[in-house]
Copies of this chain bind each other. A is one copy, B any other.
Amino acid sequence: MKKIDVAVLGATGTVGQKFIVLLQNHPYFEVKELVASERSAGKPYAAACSWKQNIPIPRNVAGLTVKSTEEILNSRILFSGLDSSVAGSAEEKYASEGHLVISNSSNHRMDRHVPLVIPEVNPDHLELIYRQQYDGAIVTNPNCSTIFLVMAIAPLYREFGVEAVNVTTLQAISGAGYPGVPSLDILGNVVPYIGSEEEKVETEPLKILGALSGDHIEPVSIKISAQCTRVPVYDGHTETLSIKLKSRAGLADVRRVLENFSGLPQELKLPSAPERPILVRTEEDRPQPRFDRDHGHGMSITVGRIRPCNVLDFKFLILSHNTVRGAAGASILNAEYLKAEGYF
């Protein structure tokens, strides 16, 4: 099968680099174009980029000449890791020009006609792309901490209903990009604030779990409260969560529902879909970033320490890889699903 040419927008950034790593030898897609800022445009990628990944730059990408956002792109599919300072208008421009923009940026997530999708949870929302005013379309995935949270509460929401969620995140430094968090701020320290993060975690889930209603999503009403912190961990966000369900459930029910969670990406055996979206661990001291971020090649979330909560109903921990399932991998899974379901 001939692979589909794709471009990576924001190719020199942290998310852009991760797109390139995850798309190496991808069965559907082949990176043929790279877009970055004016400063990088015109240079070979290897020269323009301060590469920070554990594997070398893939050969077929290293020599590509970086394009500016002004240049016309030939690829129909664009993966966007653009910085939110430029993603807003740039993604609109590309969508207007007929491209399908699969974006990890936050700018358009809450736009009325833009689907905000985790393919295991709300793939039907992708229908919204036919309601967009663009010749092409914009498809987004949620914020990293939102994705992990929603993957964990979605099966409970379906089975029991959810009234309220209280969550504290302990987020890895790689989530802030490069140069990102100065070492003087985080070495041996905790920074209890991440700009806009709590708002995202409190609002995005309401759209994701909402119902497609014609040209928009009718949000659900769940009370979500988030406290987001940065900790000196390289990769892997930890979340402590308390949840109040609508209907009565036992501990065993909660565990079973989480463990059995599966979706269309699993059914379709999409290349990036983990066999099991949620792994439930029973050890008293898991999940941990070091040991649990890479399950399912970074696309599974791990849940642990499920137990009753004195304040809400249950509490447990969530962990996943913030730059894979929480960013670039999330976009790629969206694209795989769109491809498999014939959206393009």
Interface string of A215-245 (1 = CB under 8 A from B): 0000000011101010111100010101010
Does A282 count as interface, using CB distance less than 8 angstroms?
no
Q: List the B side residues contacting A185 at CB < 8 Å.
A: 179, 183
Q: Is the beta-carbon distance between B190 and A312 smaller than 8 angstroms?
A: no
Count identical subunits in the complex.
4
A293 → chain B closest CB, angstroms: 9
Q: List the B side residues contacting A238 at CB < 8 Å.
A: 190, 192, 229
- Chain A: how many interface residues by the 8 Å CB criterion? 56
Does A52 count as interface, using CB distance less than 8 angstroms?
yes
Does A168 count as interface, using CB distance less than 8 angstroms?
yes
Does A344 count as interface, using CB distance less than 8 angstroms?
no
Q: Is the beta-carbon distance between A227 and B170 smaller than 8 angstroms?
A: no
CB contact under 8 A between A182 and B184, given known A165-B311, A166-B242, A290-B189: no
Most buried by B among A190, A244, A312: A190
Interface string of A302-325 (1 = CB under 8 A from B): 001100011110010100000000
Q: Which 10 A-B pairs have the closest CB atoms?
A: A179-B182, A193-B285, A168-B168, A227-B240, A225-B310, A183-B183, A225-B311, A168-B240, A189-B290, A164-B311
Give 7 pairs: A residue, B residue, CB < 8 Å, sorted on A: A173-B187, A183-B185, A184-B234, A188-B234, A190-B233, A224-B311, A229-B240
